Amino acid sequence: MSRTALRICPLCEATCGLVLTVDDGKVTGARGDRDDVFSKGFVCPKGAAFPEVDSDPDRLRTPLVRVDGELREATWEEAFDAVAAGLRGAVDRYGPHAVGVVLGNPNVHTMAGALYPPLLIGGLGTHSVFTASTVDQMPKHVSSGLLFGDANRIPVPDLDRTDHLLLIGANPLESNGSLCTAPDFPGRLKALKARGGTLTVVDPRRTRTARLADRHLAVRPGTDALLLAAIARTLFDEDLVDLGATAPHLQGVAELSDALADFTPEAVAGACDVDAATIRVLARELAAAPTAAVYARIGSCTVPHGTLASWLVDVLNALTGNLDRPGGALFPQAATDRTPRPAGPGHGFALGRWRSRVSRHPEAKGELPLSSLAEEIDTPTEDGTPVRAVVTVGANPVLSAPDGDRLDQALASLDFMVSVDPYLNETSRHAHVVLPPPPPAQSPHHDFAFNTLAVRDQVRYTRPAVPLEPGRMAETEILARIVLAATGMHGADPSAVDDLVIRQTLGKAVREEHSPVHGRDPKELAGLLTGDNGPERRLDMMLRLGPYGEGFGADPDGLTLEKLLAHPHGIDLGPLRPRLPQPLKTRSGKVELLPGPIAADLPRLRAALRERPDGLVLVGRRHLRSNNSWLHNVPALTGGSNRCTLHLHPDDADRLGVRDGQPVRVKGAGGEVTVPAEVTDAVRRGVVSLPHGWGHDRPGTRTRHASANPGVNVNQLLDGSLLDPLSGNAVLNGFPVEVAPVRAEAPETVTALT
């Protein structure tokens, strides 16, 4: 029997609504949901391949437990017994920091990943927390923390209303957007142009996004902070600063002007390889546009000055009056955000409350750099214990983080490792226990993270499209059971974890004067919650307490889970609205434009004014039909132009004697790889490009299609020592490499001669 079911797509940040076709319990088709309040029918090739992603025969069906060195199929009970013994054993012997928690990107694409990891980390009391954020957007969290007092308040460009978009180090035509959730990002860029707006793209590659732009600047990698500082400097020098309505909420404008004195367009032009006149034009265009937004992503974050570049993006939005104004960059208000508190001073944002054991990296947002995971395992020190046990959830750092070979060996040396992952891959192959979550069609979905980053306020929830197959366990239950196993409560009912959160959250809410439930009885409130299970009850609670909530009776028209379920295509909550000063949590209660840690990092940027790398540097790239390290196993999404090749400019190819298609050896500080060259003028001179997430040639994995066409691991070229010091974010773009053609082997030459 054929039927349809709705499912929000989890395959990228755009969160499109899909209509799945289900035949006899199996998903056989996927198309865009035209009635979805946000995505309105848009779907990309990845979303269309949802059935193949969902039914990949290499997905694990049962838990695996290591016995006599070998992973064997086991029952859930055996698996969790082993997890409890492994994690408690490590905590009891070495203390909580000896247990590392490693969270990968898919956690922001599952409900389980939003609801349980904080409890695991809190319950363990470990400082050894490593996530994909420190190979991605940690600089943006740090700059938001410092500017606004809240690391999770990230201004989002108002794509649908802006007149001018300055887009830096992002390629939404391939990535579908990031820290800016916008189904059909490409269509929204075309609409911007159609309504007479302008698009400027800053990227060392002429990407598909750059080809859409009115102006493309092929900047030298790693120098965006200099470029942005010079744009800000020009606004001050040419009297173009206009703070607009946010003026009363800003602090430190004069100090900012002084701090940026040295970064004139002439001073940065050489380092950025962008001429001074063009930089002035960029500043004037930004100031002259009726509304404008500066937006920057991966290329601006995964570089040595990532935090400064992220900070300068919002500084430019503020100086041009575009922060918190329609058409500029605004703070979304998600339905599951906390109850808004009255505006006023907050606790501020602290960095470096503790440090990593080996290299003494400061924590940021409670995390240590993913780049330092290997050394935290393999390097003893006099004070403190190395990490001896690891929990990975949806993480493949052997491919995603610098120096996979070292991490590979470090993971192999652990006393205990458990991986929650649907695949046996480069990382999970080291686990003592692998716990496979069900495929996405069998999981519920709500975007806790991406709704706080969306270009329109809206809320959607989809229940599992098909029931759990026999023998499967929901990922929410898997993670709840890990929390229990790690905290000495192994064997308790997993709903106890949700009940505890509900008790604590409601207990706190009734004490808050600004809460709609102030003074009420938390037990009575808990009794009102609806939902089929713990996670649904928690969603109901968050919706009711949230900014649009019914407040447990305070506003009968407000949101509840029940109301959301009655709107299967979602509820539109309107365009982004100005919100300042309410979201600010700085100690001053203002936007602090020149925070101390930023000011202290500026001398390092000043030193970069003189840098002119003479050799080649490498940058990454993404492909529309790929996703980090884990979609290379789906035949429908591989092949064609989705290949692991080294892009290099024809002039560089000539100089090095490299021909198109020929294998080249690429060498970096952490190692070398051999990969086919693809000669193209889409990269600027002096820059080569290699995608990440490849290198599926390690033994002991079970991803057959990916292993047949493995590609190489670009992150092997890095040794993990290059970081943005404020955020601990890895430098993954603009690092030096050497490239040489692979010459015919000597014996062949000999043969040819004789």
Binding site for ligand MGD (CB under 6 A): 12-13, 104-106, 110, 132, 135-136, 168-172, 174-176, 178, 202-205, 207, 219, 221-222, 224, 297-300, 303, 393-397, 400, 420-423, 425, 437, 475, 619-624, 626-630, 692-693, 714-715, 732-734
- State whether residue 282 is helix, strand or coil: helix
**Contact present, 74 and 63 (Cβ < 8 Å):** yes
Minimum Å gap between C-beta 105 and Mo ion is 5
Which of 136, 477 has the CB closer to Mo ion? 136
**Contact present, 295 and 165 (Cβ < 8 Å):** yes
Residues that bind ligand SF4 (CB under 6 A): 9, 11-12, 14-16, 43-44, 46-47, 176, 183
**Closest C-alpha to 371, from 629, 687, 728:** 728
Q: Among ligand SF4, ligand MGD, Mo ion, none, what does residue 621 contact (CB within 5–8 Å per kind)? A: ligand MGD
Q: Which residues face 575 on adjacent strands?
A: 456
Query: Greatest CA span in the chain, whole angstroms?
Result: 95
Q: Among Mo ion, ligand MGD, ligand SF4, none, what does residue 308 contact (CB within 5–8 Å per kind)? A: none
Which of 183, 534 has the CB closer to ligand SF4? 183
Tokens of 636: 């429908």
Is 314 an interacting residue with respect to Mo ion (CB under 5 A)?
Answer: no
**Contact present, 340 and 516 (Cβ < 8 Å):** no
Minimum Å gap between C-beta 623 and ligand MGD is 6
Q: Among ligand SF4, Mo ion, ligand MGD, none, what does residue 44 contact (CB within 5–8 Å per kind)? A: ligand SF4
Q: Among Mo ion, ligand SF4, ligand MGD, none, what does residue 15 contact (CB within 5–8 Å per kind)? A: ligand SF4
Phi, psi of 362 (to 5 degrees): -70, 145
Which of 74, 132 has the CB closer to ligand SF4? 132
**Closest C-alpha to 324, from 247, 236, 227:** 247
Which of 30, 173 has the CB closer to Mo ion? 173
Minimum Å gap between C-beta 308 and ligand SF4 is 30
**Contact present, 117 and 101 (Cβ < 8 Å):** yes
- State whether residue 101 is helix, strand or coil: strand
Which of 103, 593 has the CB closer to ligand MGD? 103
Is 203 an interacting residue with respect to Mo ion (CB under 5 A)?
Answer: no
Beta pairing, strands 616-619 & 646-648: unpaired
DSSP conformation letters of 217-271: E-PPTT-HHHHHHHHHHHHHHTT----GGGGGGEE-HHHHHHHTTT--HHHHHHH
Is 174 an interacting residue with respect to Mo ion (CB under 5 A)?
Answer: no
Residue number of the CB closest to ligand SF4 reads: 47
- State whether residue 333 is helix, strand or coil: coil
Minimum Å gap between C-beta 625 and ligand MGD is 7
- State whether residue 198 is helix, strand or coil: strand
Tokens of 395: 């993480």
The single residue listed with the structure tokens 């014996």 is 747
Which of 43, 112 has the CB closer to ligand SF4? 43
Beta pairing, strands 687-689 & 616-619: parallel
Is 536 an interacting residue with respect to Mo ion (CB under 5 A)?
Answer: no
* Three-class DSSP labels, 258-315: HHCCCCCHHHHHHHHCCCHHHHHHHHHHHHHCCCCEEEECHHHHCCCCHHHHHHHHHH
Which of 13, 324 has the CB closer to Mo ion? 13
Minimum Å gap between C-beta 35 and ligand MGD is 25
Convert residues 109-148 into a mask of x (bound to Mo ion by CB under 5 A) and - (unbound). Answer: ---------------------------x------------
CA distance 728 to 352: 10
Which of 176, 200 has the CB closer to ligand MGD? 176
Minimum Å gap between C-beta 86 and ligand SF4 is 35
Which of 163, 174 has the CB closer to Mo ion? 174
3-state helix, strand, coil in the chain (%, to 5): 35, 20, 45
Minimum Å gap between C-beta 132 and Mo ion is 6
Minimum Å gap between C-beta 33 and ligand MGD is 20
Which of 136, 408 has the CB closer to Mo ion? 136
The contact set with Mo ion (CB under 5 A) reads 136
